[in-house]
Amino acid sequence: MRSFGYASARDSADAVRLADRTPGAAFIAGGTDLLNLMKDGVQHHRHLVDVNKLDLARVTESASGLRIGGLARMRQVAEHHAVRARFPVLAEALLASASPQVRNMATIGGNLLQRTRCGYFRDIGSACNKRVPGSGCSALQGWNRGHAVLGGSESCIATHPSDLAVALTALDASVHVLGPGGTRRIPVGEFYRLPGDTPQIETSLRPAELITAVEVPRHPTATRSRYLKLRDRATFEFAVVSVAAALDLRGHFVRDIRLAFGGIGTKPWRSAEAEAELRGKNLTVERVEQAGRVLVRGAVPRQDNEFKVELVQRALAELVLGLGGLR
């Protein structure tokens, strides 16, 4: 690990000011990912701005929905009664993440900004366009069992690892930021970017912008929402494939549905096409299977991850049919 400077911010404006005036500075909150990346030499920051003292940890519910402070801890949000009662997919996605120790430390803002678990990204001896632009992608011809089948490019096929982001994508959440240019509200669907030929740019955040809150709108689908995560061990592991589904159902009639997926895309993956197969129709096994086929249309599997194409369709069916009372 390289030496770095450190400053503790008094408030949000102070944090942005401190980050803005030091090129290459990064915010640190829980530090559960950033410190690993710095210790492993994957990221170097000359300066860290500690935002833990900022008053951004509150979770509040209003008529319009849920507002989660950027510094709320994962555990705190997962245990919040409003989250559990009216946005269960959020609580489930959070509880399926990491370990209790990590959830005690890690913040919502940090969770959204965690970096991919691609082994080549995290190994400084390997070529990785995301870590060193232009150096190549070792995963394309290497070990890519964990990699994306949707949204990849010849530069990068790494998945985004956050479960929370998948749930927020299904719930049409938006990310509130404060930066040198003031505040912005970014729909989560626009927050994450496809890798294209610039995989090092993962989000639409601008320099020195700080996530202050995540807003989750109230919606008829949110209360009937669930998260299914499949992984190679029982806990403390990232998704091989995950599905977040939110369903507004009358009898078997699907009034509305939101579907998002983890583990298969280079960003949290929303599929409007799959939703369209189900919205405004009666829920049946056949329609769910058709939605799955539509979801993976255009999938580009690699030598080790072809199974994800099949597995994600099964996971989708499992979750949606379960939510619809058909399984």
Residues forming contacts to other proteins in the complex (CB under 8 A) are 1-3, 36, 40-41, 117, 119-120, 122-123, 125-126, 138, 141-143, 230, 232-237, 240, 307, 310-311, 314-315, 317-318
Side-chain-facing half-sphere of 64: CA atoms under 13 Å: 8
Nearer to other proteins, 18 or 137 (CB): 137
- Distances 220 to 2, 88, 187, 325 between C-alpha atoms, Å: 49, 13, 19, 17
Q: How far is the CB of 78 from other proteins (least distance, A)?
A: 17
Nearer to other proteins, 6 or 307 (CB): 307
Side-chain-facing half-sphere of 153: CA atoms under 13 Å: 15
Report how far residue 136's alpha carbon sits from residue 127's, in angstroms, rounded to the nearest whole number. 5
Nearer to other proteins, 218 or 314 (CB): 314
Q: Label residue 134 exposed, middle or buried (CB < 10 Å: 0-12, 13-18, 19+).
A: exposed
- Distances 38 to 49, 58, 201, 291 between C-alpha atoms, Å: 14, 28, 18, 41
Closest of 14, 19, 110, 7 to residue 55, by C-alpha: 14
Q: How far is the CB of 138 from other proteins (least distance, A)?
A: 6
Nearer to other proteins, 219 or 314 (CB): 314
Q: How far is the CB of 48 from other proteins (least distance, A)?
A: 15
Nearer to other proteins, 60 or 235 (CB): 235
Report how far residue 26's alpha carbon sits from residue 19's, in angstroms, rounded to the nearest whole number. 7
